[in-house]
Amino acid sequence: MALRIDVVSIFPEYLDPFRHALLGKAIEQQILSVGVHDLRQWASDNHKSVDDSPYGGGPGMVMKAEVWGAALDDVAAHTGPAADKHLVSATPHLSRPRHDALQGIEQVGYPEHSQADERPLLLVPTPAGTPFTQADAQAWSNEQHIVFACGRYEGIDQRVFEDAARRYRVREVSIGDYVLIGGEVAALVIAEAVVRLIPGVLGNRQSHEEDSFSDGLLEGPSYSKPRQWRGLAVPEVLLSGNHQLVAQWRRQASLQRTLERRPDLLDSADLSAEDVAFLQTYQQQRSKEQ
Protein backbone atom coordinates (compact mmCIF):
# COMPACT_ATOMS: atom_id res chain seq x y z
CA MET A 1 0.00 0.00 0.00
CA ALA A 2 1.30 3.46 -0.93
CA LEU A 3 2.15 6.09 1.65
CA ARG A 4 0.21 9.33 1.37
CA ILE A 5 1.99 12.44 2.65
CA ASP A 6 0.20 15.79 2.97
CA VAL A 7 2.15 18.92 3.84
CA VAL A 8 0.54 22.20 4.93
CA SER A 9 2.72 25.30 4.69
CA ILE A 10 2.60 29.00 3.83
CA PHE A 11 5.53 28.37 1.44
CA PRO A 12 4.37 25.41 -0.69
CA GLU A 13 7.21 26.02 -3.18
CA TYR A 14 9.67 25.14 -0.41
CA LEU A 15 8.46 21.55 -0.70
CA ASP A 16 9.51 21.19 -4.34
CA PRO A 17 12.32 18.72 -3.41
CA PHE A 18 9.56 16.13 -2.90
CA ARG A 19 9.42 15.95 -6.70
CA HIS A 20 13.10 15.14 -7.18
CA ALA A 21 15.47 12.17 -6.95
CA LEU A 22 14.29 9.18 -4.91
CA LEU A 23 11.18 10.92 -3.60
CA GLY A 24 10.18 11.85 -7.16
CA LYS A 25 10.91 8.32 -8.29
CA ALA A 26 8.78 6.89 -5.45
CA ILE A 27 5.92 9.11 -6.70
CA GLU A 28 6.38 7.70 -10.22
CA GLN A 29 6.42 4.15 -8.86
CA GLN A 30 3.17 4.92 -6.99
CA ILE A 31 4.84 3.94 -3.73
CA LEU A 32 4.33 7.51 -2.55
CA SER A 33 1.68 10.14 -3.17
CA VAL A 34 2.18 13.72 -1.97
CA GLY A 35 -0.16 16.68 -1.55
CA VAL A 36 1.27 20.11 -0.75
CA HIS A 37 -1.26 22.66 0.49
CA ASP A 38 -0.99 26.42 0.91
CA LEU A 39 -2.31 27.23 4.39
CA ARG A 40 -3.62 30.60 3.16
CA GLN A 41 -6.40 28.77 1.27
CA TRP A 42 -8.06 28.36 4.67
CA ALA A 43 -7.62 31.99 5.77
CA SER A 44 -10.96 33.78 5.75
CA ASP A 45 -10.09 37.49 5.94
CA ASN A 46 -9.32 39.76 2.99
CA HIS A 47 -5.60 39.81 3.77
CA LYS A 48 -5.42 35.99 4.02
CA SER A 49 -3.66 36.42 7.34
CA VAL A 50 -2.47 33.31 9.16
CA ASP A 51 -0.85 34.82 12.26
CA ASP A 52 -1.63 37.14 15.15
CA SER A 53 0.13 38.60 18.20
CA PRO A 54 0.72 36.27 21.16
CA TYR A 55 -1.46 36.35 24.25
CA GLY A 56 0.63 37.39 27.23
CA GLY A 57 2.80 39.63 25.06
CA GLY A 58 6.28 38.99 23.79
CA PRO A 59 8.01 39.18 20.43
CA GLY A 60 6.92 37.56 17.18
CA MET A 61 3.62 36.25 15.92
CA VAL A 62 1.73 32.99 16.50
CA MET A 63 -0.08 31.06 13.74
CA LYS A 64 -3.85 31.20 14.15
CA ALA A 65 -5.91 28.27 15.44
CA GLU A 66 -8.93 28.92 13.18
CA VAL A 67 -6.90 28.73 9.98
CA TRP A 68 -4.90 25.63 11.00
CA GLY A 69 -8.00 23.90 12.38
CA ALA A 70 -9.89 24.28 9.10
CA ALA A 71 -6.85 23.14 7.07
CA LEU A 72 -6.27 20.03 9.18
CA ASP A 73 -9.99 19.11 9.04
CA ASP A 74 -9.89 19.16 5.23
CA VAL A 75 -6.52 17.39 4.95
CA ALA A 76 -7.64 14.52 7.22
CA ALA A 77 -10.79 14.04 5.15
CA HIS A 78 -9.28 14.92 1.71
CA THR A 79 -12.01 17.51 1.30
CA GLY A 80 -12.27 21.18 0.26
CA PRO A 81 -9.03 22.72 -1.02
CA ALA A 82 -7.20 19.56 0.14
CA ALA A 83 -9.06 17.26 -2.28
CA ASP A 84 -7.23 15.70 -5.23
CA LYS A 85 -3.81 17.27 -4.82
CA HIS A 86 -1.00 15.12 -6.20
CA LEU A 87 2.56 16.22 -6.89
CA VAL A 88 4.13 14.82 -10.04
CA SER A 89 7.82 14.00 -10.21
CA ALA A 90 10.05 16.75 -11.64
CA THR A 91 11.65 14.65 -14.39
CA PRO A 92 11.17 11.03 -15.40
CA HIS A 93 13.55 8.96 -13.31
CA LEU A 94 15.52 5.99 -14.51
CA SER A 95 13.54 2.80 -14.09
CA ARG A 96 16.66 0.60 -14.25
CA PRO A 97 16.39 -2.24 -11.71
CA ARG A 98 18.54 -1.80 -8.62
CA HIS A 99 21.28 -4.26 -7.59
CA ASP A 100 18.94 -5.98 -5.13
CA ALA A 101 16.29 -6.54 -7.80
CA LEU A 102 18.90 -7.88 -10.23
CA GLN A 103 20.12 -10.32 -7.57
CA GLY A 104 16.52 -11.41 -6.84
CA ILE A 105 16.69 -10.32 -3.18
CA GLU A 106 13.23 -10.09 -1.67
CA GLN A 107 12.04 -6.64 -0.56
CA VAL A 108 11.21 -6.71 3.13
CA GLY A 109 9.89 -3.79 5.15
CA TYR A 110 10.10 -3.12 8.87
CA PRO A 111 7.64 -5.00 11.10
CA GLU A 112 4.27 -3.32 11.38
CA HIS A 113 3.43 -2.25 14.88
CA SER A 114 -0.09 -3.32 15.77
CA GLN A 115 -2.01 -0.22 14.88
CA ALA A 116 -5.70 -0.53 15.69
CA ASP A 117 -5.94 3.26 15.50
CA GLU A 118 -6.42 4.21 11.86
CA ARG A 119 -6.26 7.96 12.35
CA PRO A 120 -3.58 9.65 10.20
CA LEU A 121 -0.29 10.55 11.86
CA LEU A 122 0.09 14.33 12.29
CA LEU A 123 3.76 15.29 12.56
CA VAL A 124 4.43 18.77 13.89
CA PRO A 125 8.06 19.85 13.46
CA THR A 126 9.10 21.99 16.41
CA PRO A 127 12.37 22.48 18.30
CA ALA A 128 10.31 21.82 21.44
CA GLY A 129 9.34 18.32 20.21
CA THR A 130 10.77 14.92 21.09
CA PRO A 131 13.89 14.11 19.04
CA PHE A 132 13.23 12.37 15.72
CA THR A 133 15.17 9.08 15.49
CA GLN A 134 15.90 6.28 13.04
CA ALA A 135 13.53 4.08 15.09
CA ASP A 136 10.74 6.61 14.36
CA ALA A 137 11.64 6.50 10.65
CA GLN A 138 11.39 2.69 10.66
CA ALA A 139 8.03 2.71 12.45
CA TRP A 140 6.59 5.47 10.25
CA SER A 141 7.68 3.72 7.03
CA ASN A 142 4.60 1.50 7.70
CA GLU A 143 2.14 4.39 7.94
CA GLN A 144 -0.54 4.96 5.30
CA HIS A 145 -1.16 8.67 5.84
CA ILE A 146 1.27 11.19 7.32
CA VAL A 147 0.44 14.90 7.54
CA PHE A 148 3.05 17.57 8.27
CA ALA A 149 1.97 20.89 9.81
CA CYS A 150 4.80 23.32 9.02
CA GLY A 151 4.93 26.24 11.42
CA ARG A 152 6.60 29.63 10.90
CA TYR A 153 7.12 32.67 13.15
CA GLU A 154 6.89 31.64 16.84
CA GLY A 155 4.98 28.48 15.94
CA ILE A 156 1.31 27.39 15.91
CA ASP A 157 -1.34 28.01 18.60
CA GLN A 158 -1.05 24.95 20.88
CA ARG A 159 -4.82 24.36 20.89
CA VAL A 160 -4.56 23.27 17.25
CA PHE A 161 -2.78 20.07 18.36
CA GLU A 162 -5.09 19.43 21.30
CA ASP A 163 -8.03 19.68 18.90
CA ALA A 164 -6.28 17.70 16.14
CA ALA A 165 -5.82 14.76 18.54
CA ARG A 166 -9.55 13.99 17.93
CA ARG A 167 -8.86 12.98 14.33
CA TYR A 168 -5.08 12.42 14.21
CA ARG A 169 -2.36 10.72 16.21
CA VAL A 170 -0.27 13.80 16.97
CA ARG A 171 3.52 13.83 17.43
CA GLU A 172 5.53 17.02 17.97
CA VAL A 173 9.06 16.27 16.74
CA SER A 174 12.38 18.04 16.67
CA ILE A 175 15.09 17.31 14.11
CA GLY A 176 17.85 18.67 16.36
CA ASP A 177 18.88 21.11 19.03
CA TYR A 178 18.87 24.23 16.90
CA VAL A 179 16.17 26.59 15.63
CA LEU A 180 15.16 26.76 11.96
CA ILE A 181 13.05 29.49 10.36
CA GLY A 182 10.19 27.15 9.50
CA GLY A 183 9.03 23.53 9.57
CA GLU A 184 9.35 22.84 5.81
CA VAL A 185 12.97 21.70 5.84
CA ALA A 186 12.29 19.56 8.93
CA ALA A 187 9.33 17.94 7.12
CA LEU A 188 11.61 17.12 4.18
CA VAL A 189 14.26 15.67 6.48
CA ILE A 190 11.72 13.41 8.18
CA ALA A 191 10.03 12.43 4.90
CA GLU A 192 13.37 11.44 3.30
CA ALA A 193 14.33 9.32 6.29
CA VAL A 194 10.92 7.59 6.27
CA VAL A 195 10.36 7.10 2.54
CA ARG A 196 13.80 5.56 1.88
CA LEU A 197 12.84 2.70 4.24
CA ILE A 198 9.70 1.73 2.30
CA PRO A 199 10.38 -1.49 0.36
CA GLY A 200 11.11 -0.70 -3.29
CA VAL A 201 12.39 2.84 -2.73
CA LEU A 202 16.02 2.26 -1.81
CA GLY A 203 16.24 -1.44 -2.42
CA ASN A 204 16.28 -4.21 0.12
CA ARG A 205 16.04 -3.80 3.86
CA GLN A 206 19.49 -5.43 4.16
CA SER A 207 20.99 -2.51 2.25
CA HIS A 208 19.96 0.03 4.90
CA GLU A 209 20.34 -2.16 7.96
CA GLU A 210 24.04 -1.33 7.95
CA ASP A 211 23.41 2.42 7.85
CA SER A 212 24.36 4.57 10.80
CA PHE A 213 21.89 4.21 13.73
CA SER A 214 20.16 1.10 12.33
CA ASP A 215 22.18 -1.11 14.69
CA GLY A 216 22.68 1.63 17.26
CA LEU A 217 26.16 2.56 15.95
CA LEU A 218 27.60 4.98 13.40
CA GLU A 219 28.65 3.43 10.10
CA GLY A 220 32.40 3.29 9.44
CA PRO A 221 34.15 4.87 6.44
CA SER A 222 33.52 3.75 2.83
CA TYR A 223 35.91 3.57 -0.14
CA SER A 224 35.67 2.99 -3.89
CA LYS A 225 38.07 2.87 -6.87
CA PRO A 226 40.89 3.78 -7.39
CA ARG A 227 43.00 1.90 -4.81
CA GLN A 228 45.43 4.80 -4.61
CA TRP A 229 44.29 8.43 -4.87
CA ARG A 230 46.51 11.46 -4.23
CA GLY A 231 48.88 9.32 -2.19
CA LEU A 232 46.06 7.89 -0.07
CA ALA A 233 45.43 4.13 -0.08
CA VAL A 234 42.27 2.12 0.56
CA PRO A 235 42.68 -0.05 3.72
CA GLU A 236 44.37 -3.27 2.55
CA VAL A 237 41.83 -5.58 4.20
CA LEU A 238 39.04 -4.31 1.92
CA LEU A 239 40.97 -5.62 -1.08
CA SER A 240 41.62 -9.04 0.50
CA GLY A 241 38.42 -10.73 -0.75
CA ASN A 242 38.13 -12.33 2.72
CA HIS A 243 34.49 -11.62 3.70
CA GLN A 244 35.00 -12.53 7.34
CA LEU A 245 37.97 -10.20 7.74
CA VAL A 246 36.13 -7.42 5.89
CA ALA A 247 33.08 -7.82 8.16
CA GLN A 248 35.31 -7.73 11.24
CA TRP A 249 37.12 -4.60 10.00
CA ARG A 250 33.80 -2.87 9.27
CA ARG A 251 32.43 -3.69 12.72
CA GLN A 252 35.57 -2.41 14.42
CA ALA A 253 35.65 0.76 12.28
CA SER A 254 32.03 1.36 13.24
CA LEU A 255 32.74 0.83 16.96
CA GLN A 256 35.81 3.08 16.78
CA ARG A 257 33.97 5.90 15.04
CA THR A 258 31.04 5.68 17.46
CA LEU A 259 33.39 5.81 20.44
CA GLU A 260 35.17 8.86 19.02
CA ARG A 261 32.15 10.84 17.81
CA ARG A 262 29.04 9.59 19.65
CA PRO A 263 30.07 7.67 22.78
CA ASP A 264 26.52 8.20 24.13
CA LEU A 265 25.24 5.69 21.54
CA LEU A 266 27.36 2.88 22.99
CA ASP A 267 25.27 2.84 26.18
CA SER A 268 22.23 1.46 24.35
CA ALA A 269 23.96 -0.41 21.46
CA ASP A 270 23.76 -4.19 21.29
CA LEU A 271 27.43 -5.12 21.84
CA SER A 272 28.98 -8.60 21.80
CA ALA A 273 31.75 -9.65 24.21
CA GLU A 274 34.13 -9.27 21.24
CA ASP A 275 32.92 -5.69 20.65
CA VAL A 276 33.44 -4.80 24.31
CA ALA A 277 36.95 -6.31 24.28
CA PHE A 278 37.82 -4.37 21.11
CA LEU A 279 36.58 -1.08 22.61
CA GLN A 280 38.56 -1.64 25.81
CA THR A 281 41.79 -2.34 23.91
CA TYR A 282 41.20 0.64 21.61
CA GLN A 283 40.53 2.95 24.57
CA GLN A 284 43.67 1.76 26.36
CA GLN A 285 45.73 2.43 23.22
CA ARG A 286 44.22 5.88 22.89
CA SER A 287 44.93 6.83 26.49
CA LYS A 288 48.59 5.68 26.09
CA GLU A 289 48.94 7.86 22.98
CA GLN A 290 47.53 10.97 24.71
Residues annotated in the binding site for S-adenosyl-L-methionine, as ranges? Answer: 151, 175-180
CB of 126 to ligand SAM, least distance (A): 5
Pick the binder of ligand SAM from 5, 34, 186, 218 (CB under 6 A).
186
The dihedral over CA atoms of 191, 82, 123, 176, expressed in degrees to the nearest 10, equals 60
CB of 103 to ligand SAM, least distance (A): 38
CB of 148 to ligand SAM, least distance (A): 9
62, 32 in Cβ contact below 8 A? no
**24 or 151: CB nearest ligand SAM:** 151
Pick the binder of ligand SAM from 120, 183, 203, 220 (CB under 6 A).
183
Pick the binder of ligand SAM from 12, 24, 120, 155 (CB under 6 A).
155
5, 148 in Cβ contact below 8 A? yes
Q: Per rule CB under 6 A, is residue 160 in the interface with ligand SAM?
A: no
Phi, psi of 70 (to 5 degrees): -65, -40
Phi, psi of 128 (to 5 degrees): -90, 10
Q: Show the DSSP H helices in 165-262 as ranges.
A: 184-195, 205-209, 243-261
Pick the binder of ligand SAM from 37, 152, 161, 198 (CB under 6 A).
152
Distance CA 41, CA 10 (A): 9
Q: What is the largest CA-CA distance in the chain?
A: 71
Distance CA 138, CA 36 (A): 23
Contacts with ligand SAM by CB under 6 A: the residue count is 19
Pick the binder of ligand SAM from 17, 69, 182, 199 (CB under 6 A).
182
Q: Per rule CB under 6 A, is residue 175 in the interface with ligand SAM?
A: yes
Distance CA 134, CA 122 (A): 18
Q: Per rule CB under 6 A, is residue 154 in the interface with ligand SAM?
A: yes
| 3-class secondary-structure state, position 290 | coil
**110 or 148: CB nearest ligand SAM:** 148
Pick the binder of ligand SAM from 179, 236, 268, 273 (CB under 6 A).
179
Binding to ligand SAM in span 93-132, by CB under 6 A = 125-128
CB of 157 to ligand SAM, least distance (A): 11
Q: Show the DSSP H helices in 45-104 as ranges.
A: 65-77, 99-102
**183 or 220: CB nearest ligand SAM:** 183
| 3-class secondary-structure state, position 236 | helix
**Residues that bind ligand SAM in the complex, under the rule CB under 6 A:** 125-128, 150-152, 154-155, 174-176, 178-183, 186
